[in-house]
Amino acid sequence: RAIMLLGFTTVRTIATVVACGLDSSAVPPGFWRHSSATATAAQLIAWRFGINSGEAFAVGLLHDLGRGLLHVADPVLSAELDQRLADAALTEPSPPDTVPTRLELERELFGITHAEAAARLLGSWRFAPPMVEAIGEHHRPVGDPTSELTKLIGAAEAVTARAIGNFDEPVDGTGGVELLDLDNERLELIVHRVRSESGALAAVLSI
């Protein structure tokens, strides 16, 4: 019945989240708020990329799955990473290329980024290759040649950043929004809907 109402892709996505054991006590603060907002944004802008709304919702909800996986795998190391990011943010202004990013610290501490970790898991669980590839590459520069699904994640994260702020990750807000090619009024309507509609989903998932 759930598959009939929500679609197979959505049900499988939620089942994946449950199988990973990523409840509110097992993920970084703000994880589900960000993931839910990105899923909502992706669903609302999917038409701009010719992507089915169910697939868009799924890729938006799962794009940062690796953040939760790394946190669960080693909470102590994950806390160290967060502290180093916080310390870097409090230090005197430095040239941008000298400030470590989350992706760089993940590779240093875990030997893998959260995007790569999610892609590896979803690939082993036989998710569709285009979705696995898009999630694995979702932090590539927006201007790089990528699939429409990867572009969708970039644009959805840019909308999410406008709606609720960043999630300690590099996000090309300007480039992501430019992919949508929408007038400001329509863009702000989408941002408002993401802000108002994603909270309920986040509350359900974080139980």
pLDDT in tens, 178-199: 999 999 999 999 999 999 988 8
Task: Give the mean pLDDT of the chain.
Answer: 84
Alpha-carbon dihedral angle through residues 191, 195, 200, 201, given to the nearest 10 degrees: 50
Predicted confidence band of residue 161 (pLDDT cuts 50, 70, 90): very high
Predicted structure pTM score: 0.86
Q: Is the pLDDT of residue 3 over 50?
A: no
Q: What is the mean pLDDT of residues 27-52?
A: 91
Q: Is the pLDDT of residue 176 over 60?
A: yes
Residue 5, pLDDT score: 44
Predicted confidence band of residue 2 (pLDDT cuts 50, 70, 90): very low
Q: Is the pLDDT of residue 9 over 70?
A: no
pLDDT in tens, 79-121: 999 899 888 877 755 555 667 889 999 999 999 999 999 999 8
Place of tokens 């916080």: 86
Q: What is the mean pLDDT of residues 9-23?
A: 64
Q: With 0-12 CB in 10 A as exposed, 13-18 as middle and 19+ as buried, what is 109? A: middle
CA angle 153, 157, 163 (to 5 degrees): 145
Q: What is the mean pLDDT of residues 19-46?
A: 83
Distance in angstroms (rounded) separating the CA atoms of residues 149 and 196: 24
Residue 103, pLDDT score: 92
Contacts of 94 (CB under 8 A, 6+ apart): none
pLDDT in tens, 135-158: 999 988 877 778 999 999 999 999
Residue 6, pLDDT score: 47
Token pair for 186: 């329509």
Question: For 198, what's the count of Cα atoms within 13 Å in the CB-facing half-sphere?
Answer: 29
Q: With 0-12 CB in 10 A as exposed, 13-18 as middle and 19+ as buried, what is 92? A: exposed
Residue 49, pLDDT score: 95
pLDDT in tens, 40-86: 999 999 999 999 988 898 899 889 989 988 988 898 999 999 899 88
Residue 1, pLDDT score: 47
Place of tokens 């989408």: 190
